[in-house]
Amino acid sequence: MGCLENDGGSPEILTIPPAVRHIVTIPYADLLKEDFDLSLELEAGFGPNSLGIVAVSGVPKYSELRSRLLPLASRMAALSEESKMSLVDPASRFSFGWSHGNEMLRSGQPDVYKGSFYANPIVDVPTTDEALIERYPSYCRQNIWPREDLPELEPAFKELGRLMLDVGLLLAHHCSKFVSARKPDYEEGKLVRMLKSSKCHKGRLLHYFPASNRDTEEWEKGLASWCGWHFDHGSLTGLTRATYMKGKDQVPNPDPQSGLYIRDRLGTITKAVFAEDDIAYQMGEATEFHSGGLFRATLHCVQAARGEAAVGVDRNTFALFMQPQWDEPLILPEGHCDRTEVTICTPQKSFFFLISAF
């Protein structure tokens, strides 16, 4: 879950400009049709030779909820240090509440370029079992909300997170149907069942602080300048398209080359583009394993905005990490996995796993 700094063998500096590709897009109306055949779209978006991402268009109320939540990332970051420190939860490994400077860049330096606010948008108290809280603090501790300093955040965060989960569950239904048709031993409806019952979902509201001239010069040196190369470890990750602010005004992206980059299994790096009013969903490693490799998670990173136009501009976005319950058994259907990171790839092998935290 989250932005894990892992270069995965990916180049930091490209010798040729990467391709720009509009990702596979599925209309929301088609997701609502349980028996509708989306196999071509899922193969193109999540299959072995894909970018591991699809977008969903035409989701009712999404644009309104996105517009409500994303500007609050700037207001969160602008709270007093005293207020923000009251929202920091070291016991959760900084996986609930406010986090700034607690992740490390590839250089080994603390990442002070962005701040994050983490919460479970579905349930405030995942469990009261003290043993579970101690064992899985990144998932089992309680939400922390700035109810006095920023009361608008909690309802906006929960409403957008709930909507993105509901749409993700519709997508998960079609993913499960796709796998069931190709893997006879796959539990029918497994992905939906896991995600509906899970109390591990985590929302991350991100604020990328305004760049200085020195920052933009430094960012010229690397592609993964805002978030390093990593895989998402959950089942599906819902993503909003970012908004950019200069002072109190929303502005266009100051650098068209900034944004999400994906490296496919052939090593090709592509800038992934989706519409402002679409929700993107990236494939996570947990679903890759559960599908026996029919779906593939891909390495991705975020490139910072560069150049004079980016000075003084901040960036806000939101991610929803849809994840299995902390004790969900990982059962691999008959098939194989061929990524070197996977060490347990034999048919019918199962074990209990904990998704890595950030």
Q: What is the pLDDT of residues 165-193, one digit of tens each?
A: 999 999 999 999 999 999 988 889 999 99
Instruction: State which amino acid sits at residue 200.
Output: C
pLDDT number for residue 154: 98
pLDDT number for residue 349: 32
**Beta-strand runs (E) in the chain:** 19-22, 24-27, 53-57, 97-100, 114-119, 202-208, 227-230, 236-239, 243-246, 249-251, 259-263, 269-273, 279-283, 299-303, 314-322, 329-331, 350-352
Q: How far apart are CA 180 and CA 292, in angstroms?
A: 11
Q: Provide the pLDDT confidence category of residue 265 given band limits of 50, 70 and 90.
A: confident
Q: What is the pLDDT of residues 49-82, one digit of tens each?
A: 999 999 999 999 999 999 999 999 999 999 999 9
Q: How far apart are CA 143 and CA 120, in angstroms?
A: 7
For the domain 23-322, what is the CATH superfamily, name and number?
B-lactam Antibiotic, Isopenicillin N Synthase; Chain (2.60.120.330)
Q: Provide the pLDDT confidence category of residue 222 given band limits of 50, 70 and 90.
A: low
Residue 7 makes CB contacts below 8 A (sequence gap 6+) with: 106, 224, 228, 229
Mean of the per-residue pLDDT values of the chain: 85
- Which neighbouring-strand residues pair with 249? 246
Residue 98 makes CB contacts below 8 A (sequence gap 6+) with: 76, 84, 85, 87, 88, 115, 116, 117
pLDDT number for residue 330: 81
CA 208 remoteness from chain centre: 15
Q: How far apart are CA 84 and CA 88, in angstroms?
A: 7
Contact 296, 232 (CB under 8 A): no
pLDDT number for residue 39: 97
pTM recorded for the entire structure = 0.88
Tell me the average pLDDT across 93-107. Answer: 85
pLDDT number for residue 4: 37
